[in-house]
Amino acid sequence: MSDAAQPTAAEVRAAAEAVKTALDRHLAAVERRSGEEDPAVYDAFNQLAAAAEAYDELLYDRYDEVTPFEIPGTEDSMPPYTGPEEPSALSVLIRRDYSVAEPQRLMAQARRVEAADEEGVTAEASGTVHGALGLLFGEFEPDEIASRHKEFGLEEGDSTLWVTAADETADPGEWLEAPFDQADPELVVCRFDVSAVFDDEYDDGLDDDDEDDAEGGVGAGELDEDLDTDLDDDLDPDEDAEPIGLEAER
């Protein structure tokens, strides 16, 4: 940063005072909290985080110095729960992303589904990637595909699961056209996220020996030898199998 663009010492001092004020407000909100999910505490927390982040940036720009604080992101955090205390209904929202890493393997599995169909198939849907996906997701439950994704030539991406509360169940057919549009973050009872971002953060703390130990852990998904041999017969080694991105929403 150039000298002209640097913040003044007065601006840094003002930012420090803002942090002190935000600290006092946060402590006062905590002391007066009305419950575990008091929105006043939530707001005070966000204000403190924003003030601390602003001070940290100005301090670095002016003096090339940092604070010892790690400011958590507030934009992606969930708001406090405001739903019913004793919900009588719930919705489970799941999204899993995959990439089609091996299209030929995917279509080979779809052909097996076609061959096992006693009624016969009028059109060979397994001849295209999107047709094979339709066959497999129509034949297998999403949880089974998630546990056997490598057998189907898929590679896992991010996934998330939200459990939301409600006073009563929705009317039949009410949300089927847009299943996630009515998801209210303030009604989320719990949320579980899986992402490669978290894996990267974990790997950064591993040494080489730890990385060797971590390989082949849960989710390694080794293929059955017989299945691998059968699939090799269906795959053309001369064909290129370029990964194709796919976002799967359920």
In a domain, 83, yes or no: no
Do 143 and 217 belong to one domain? yes
Cβ atoms within 10 Å of 73's Cβ, excluding its own:
8
Do 39 and 129 belong to one domain? no
Backbone dihedral region for residue 113 (phi beyond 0: left; psi -120 to 50: alpha; all else: beta): alpha
Do 28 and 123 belong to one domain? no
Do 223 and 114 belong to one domain? yes
Measured between alpha carbons, how far is 83 from 67 in angstroms, rounded to an integer?
37
Measured between alpha carbons, how far is 65 from 59 in angstroms, rounded to an integer?
6
Compute the average pLDDT of residues 85-107: 93
Do 43 and 135 belong to one domain? no
Q: Looking at per-residue confidence, does 192 or 217 come out higher?
A: 192
Do 156 and 209 belong to one domain? yes
Do 53 and 106 belong to one domain? no
- pLDDT of residue 217 exceeding 50, the answer is no
Cα dihedral 93, 96, 97, 101, rounded to 10, equals -160
Q: What range does the domain containing 44 cover?
A: 9-63
Alpha-carbon separation of residue 203 from 161, 191, 196, 209, 210 (angstroms): 24, 23, 10, 12, 9
Compute the average pLDDT of residues 9-26: 94
Query: What's the pTM?
Result: 0.52
Do 102 and 169 belong to one domain? yes
